[in-house]
Structure 1
Amino acid sequence: MVDGRRITRRRFLQDSARAASALALTAWGLEGARGTASAQELSFPVERGASLRVLRWSQFVTTDRPIFEQNAARFTQRTGVPVRVEYETWTDVQPKAAAAANVGSGPDIVIGFFDEPHLWADKLVPVTDLAQYLGRKYGGWFDVCPQYGYSPQRNAWIAIPIGAPGVAINYRVSWVREAGFDPDPARFPRTTDEFLRLCRALRARGHPTGFALGKAVGDGNTWVHWCLWAFGGRVLAPDNRTLTINSPETANALEYARALYETMIPGVAGWLDPHNNRAFLAGEISLTNNGISIYFAAKNDFPEIAQDMNHAVFPVGPVGRPTELHLFSQAYIFSYTRYPNAAKEFLRWIMEDTQYARWINGMLGYVSHPLRAYTNLTVWRSDPKALPFRDAVARMLPHSYAGRPGPEAARAMAEFVVVDMFADACTGRRSVRDAIRAAEDRLRRIYRS
């Protein structure tokens, strides 16, 4: 009895769950972030004479860079702070950021991928105040966001999630129908078994598939992690210490990937992120995993392909639930900057609804939003073929699953350990057993160091 009220087991469990949730939100700096009430407006007073350098990944859709730079120019007009935006290929952002972290000089802001900021968490400006403000104002962050943006080491948010270039199955409608399957996204294969049957049927009719197995930051990592998790495999246990990659579930995932590899076009072992885009638009493959960039390019330059393609979410494997990874991107500020307030104000500016909505809508939804309020953006209602990308961040798992993002997970991702394991097994460079052992050895060195 408490205050004269009887506490039932169900009531106790409900109250305990609410308390645990509240503690987690407090630890992440997210108190009240799930509310939808308007937050008190926040701005950071910029330093006198401030200027900013921003390093970010290069565009994959042609409207990305112009709109991003227009938003930056409007920030300059509003604050008087010049902003220079520099672009690098996806694989080159992290090495450039690492060099800046080591020498203590370079861009003020970096927009990179996954848990990259955790590699140099002690060299970043905390952004908890900004993360809390955005969460409160825009309905809360999706669950994966604090896992990436918050640093237990610093007891603070060290990065602001920007979103994720979402990934879905891109396919040719007429060829899927020719293979005997319904091309409607609502009826597209929903299980890994049915998906493999489709891929085999496509290959048998002269329409191979194609999935990157080279050092592809986006397309390589996303599909192999989906496959690993779909069969119950994982790199780490929830304690974030015990390596679990060497398991029957991982072996089952690799055997499935080997069967899928037999349906692919030759050469995928060397594919980087642009290769499947080109192969799809050239009519060389019938199906791949990719963002909306293929459809975006097709609408502009290959309208017949745009009309004959569609998107579907990844099928579900034996674990019975979605196991998706998307190209999570976040922005962070190096502590060597002379203008931390200007940098935080710039990030606040680009994440506010006027600028952010303009950017996402203009890219046809190439980046899926990290804040719940942006679920209602115009792009998600204007073109049904964009809809499968809308909930990418809401559905995704962190690449460190079932462990936590952090320096070790970031290094394992940077070294393509899981991608290499799949490539070794699929191409026959190693047996399934040896591919797993090689990955386990690499992971052991990473996590012990």
Structure 2
Amino acid sequence: MTGPATDHATTRRGFLKLAAAGTAAATLSRPNPAGAEGKTITILHESSFIKPFDEYVTNTLAPAYEKATGIKVNYEVTSVGSLPTRISTIAETGSGADISMNGLLQVIQFSNKYLDVDDIASDVGKAQGGWYDAGKEAVVVDGKWKAIPFANIGQLMNWRTDWFAEVGVKKFPETWDELYEVGKKLKAKDHPFGFELGHGFGDNHGWLYPLLWSYGGAEVAADGKTVTIDSDETARAVDFCRKFFKDTMLDDALGWTDVSNNKAWMAEQISCTNNAESILWFAKREFPDIGKVTDQAMNPAGPKGRFHLLNDISHSIFNFSPVKEEARAFMRWLMDPKQLGGWYAVADSYYQPLLHGYDNAPMWKVEPRNLPYRDALANAHLPGWPAPASRQMAESVAKYVVVDMFAKACSGTSTKDVIKDAAAQLKDIYRSA
């Protein structure tokens, strides 16, 4: 990964200390149902960008569980971007995996196919320092825990320290206005910014929703019904985005998807972008000279504060699984610090735990530049916030309502028109709320 192999061993030992320090093992390790031995549990996961993460399940966790219980764990990996389709097929046919990883929207979309796991979530939270509010926000549907939060894959600012230093900046700007002023100077020196404005699935939402919230704008009120996008606050966010794009960025960012800014970063075409930790991880491994001058920071603050996008990963058990009781027992075992800590550790801090018990875990010492991803959890929210998670919110994201509002403004459409169009779409979507 990002350092000698001994770093990871040390990290894992640190997590084992966490396990020994509490009573989690006694709380979570409950026996499997009678007659469970010889059965198989299949868990579906999207392929991780961090290869050792998947290998750890196949080579370490699955064999350990089979040895302890006699139950075989089949870890099935699907390609990036295909998870929603795979879950949909399983939900429709009533067969396939017993446990599934969820991305940003799947808990909302398939909650009626998932078991309630309130008891497991409660026990895990009590044993390991409590859940972040962000973790609950992503998995509680109609008052019921429909998934066990696993981690967040944060979307933060990545910046070139050497190029920022060329314009006299050694600390990442605190506000959007300050970042804009720096960006103008860097673009003039042929070091433009590059922020995704196209129809990707992460890096566009990762900065546009926080930008909207930081100006006080929101799609829908906290009641989950009243469309509020047409506001002076939204207009100010749109106006800022337009000039931010025009004066600091590469023009082709309008059509970018999630791979685009990564490629531009490694080609040394951009000096700042919004991305997951993967840019730094990959640069250190494949482009070490770039890795040395890459740093990470929380999103800038706007007039109404600093915000981040919640990009939660969780695990759900299908309510039609023939081994659902065995799957529940496995989830308790998996969320024990001895297993969970080791799994986190192999990926450094690419996956940010949503349990406070890991706030000061050794994984955060492996790469201190990753610490902002931990700190960002305090003000991370799902798209649609402050409204609760809902089918309507998922539809809004799928239709790129907020992304297109900003992108059309950057293309030259008036602020009034882009907001009017977004409001009309949202009113249609939330009519049934």
**TM-score, L = length of structure 2:** 0.88
Q: For 1:91 and 1:405, locate their aligned partners in 2 and report how far apart those are by CA, in whole Å.
A: 21
Displacement of 1:37: 6.6
For 2:32, the equivalent position in structure 1 comes to: 45
* 2:255 counterpart of 1:270: yes
1:78 is aligned to 68
How many residue pairs match? The answer is 406
Instruction: Give the alignment of 1:7-406 within 5 angstroms.
Output: 38=23, 40-42=26-28, 43=30, 45-46=32-33, 47-70=36-59, 71-152=61-142, 155-182=143-170, 187-262=171-246, 263-319=248-304, 321-406=305-390
For 2:258 and 2:77, locate their aligned partners in 1 and report how far apart those are by CA, in whole Å. Answer: 16
**Match in the other structure for 1:3:** none
Structure 1's 92 and 246: CA in aligned 2 closer, same or farther, altered over 3 A?
A: farther
1:198–1:350 distance in 2 versus 1, CA, 3 Å: farther
Equivalent residue in structure 1 for 2:419, among 418, 421, 436: 436
Distance 2:314 2:69 in 1: 23
The alpha-carbon deviation at position 90 of structure 1 amounts to 4.4
Mapped contact 1:90–1:217 kept (Cα < 8 A): no
Cα-to-partner distance string for 1:310-355 (whole Å, 9 max, x where unaligned): 1111110010x22111311111111121111222233223322122
* Distance apart, 1:362 and its partner CA: 1.9
Note if contact 1:142-1:371 (Cα within 8 Å) is conserved in structure 2.
Answer: yes
Partner letter of residue 318 of structure 1? P
Deviation at 1:65, TM superposition (A): 1.9
Instruction: Give how far 1:380 is off.
Output: 1.1
Distance change (3 Å), C-alpha of 1:364 and 1:178: same
Counterpart amino acid of residue 202 in structure 2: G
Partner-residue secondary structure (3-state), 1:349: helix
Structure number with greater CO (CA < 8 Å, separation at least 6) is 2
Aligned equivalents of 1:325, 1:74: Cα separation in 2 = 35
Q: CA deviation at 1:427?
A: 2.4
TM-score (norm 1): 0.85
User: Cα–Cα, structure 1 residues 309 and 413, in superposed 2: closer, same or farther, change >3 Å?
Assistant: same
Distance 1:198 1:339, change over 3 A: same
Q: Distance in 2 between matches of 1:192 and 1:121?
A: 37
| One-letter amino acid of the counterpart of residue 442, structure 1 | Q
Give the C-alpha shift of residue 309 in structure 1: 1.2
* Most deviating of 156-165 and 339-348: 339-348
- Alpha-carbon separation, structure 2, partners of 1:217 and 1:322: 22
CA deviations on 1:54-113 (whole Å, 9 max, x unpaired) are: 222221223322223332333233333333333334432123222322232232222122
Equivalent residues of 1:361, 1:377 under 8 A apart: no
AA partner of residue 387 (structure 2)? G
C-alpha displacement at 1:141, in angstroms?
Answer: 0.2
Cα distance in 1 for partners of 2:63, 2:400 equals 36
1:14 equivalent in structure 2: none
Query: Using the alignment, how far apart are the partners of 2:341 and 2:159 within structure 1?
Result: 27
- Distance, in Å, in 2 between the alignment partners of 1:193 and 1:370 is 31
Secondary structure of the residue that 2:330 maps to in structure 1?
Answer: helix
CA contact (8 A) 2:198 2:403 kept: yes
Q: Look up the SS of the partner of 2:227 in the other structure.
A: coil
State the one-letter code of the partner of 2:27: E
Gaps of 5+ in 1: 1-35
Matched, 1:446 2:432: no
SS in 2 for 1:242: coil
> What do you get for the CA RMSD once the two structures are aligned?
2.0
